[in-house]
Amino acid sequence: MVAQSVLRELGVRTGAVNDVVAWFCAAASFFAMAHAFKHGDFVRVTLLLESVSPKVRRVLEIACLFIGAVAVGYLAYWANRFTYDSWRFNEVAQGLLPLPIWIPQASFALGSILLFVAIVDELIIVLRGGRPTFVVAVEERHAHGDFSSDV
């Protein structure tokens, strides 16, 4: 997805490229939210988690996932509502490309739902006694010496 923005960059520059690139990057990151979450890329402070017993850790993980699920559920609700309003009000993008704004916004509405599903999925995994995917993924990645994802 990023590749396209590069191609545009090198090709003929039309007026609305900036808006399109911005929407495109945003859309890519919105869609990737669930994937990045599962993959353990979302940063958190693991100091306490790593120093407590596995039992306490599980309780904490459940609490975090529950809080996360509520927060992201709220986000998903408003993302969809706002996008729906944009469509209802017939709001059009300002700038050079008069595109109905709900079209790019829909990427976020959808991405936030995917993230919500991913968090609920993790919550279920942990409630069933499993280890969260994002913890396992980070451990595996670091065991391979891959630190490219850490800024």
Task: Select the residue interacting with another protein from 9, 56, 136, 140 (CB under 8 A).
Answer: 9
Letters for 30-69 (x = contact with another protein by CB under 8 A, - = none) are x-xx-xx--x-xxxxxxxxx----------xx-xx--xx-
Minimum separation from the CB atom of position 128 to another protein (A)? 20
1 binding another protein? (CB under 8 A): yes
Contact 38, 92 (CB under 8 A): no
One residue of 104, 113, 118, 122 binding another protein per CB under 8 A: 104
CB-nearer residue toward another protein: 43 or 128: 43
List b or e across 13-46, with b for residues whose CB sees 16 or more CB atoms inside 10 angstroms: eeeebebbbebbeebeebbbbbebbbebbeeeee
| Exposure of 55 in the CB half-sphere (CA atoms within 13 A) | 0
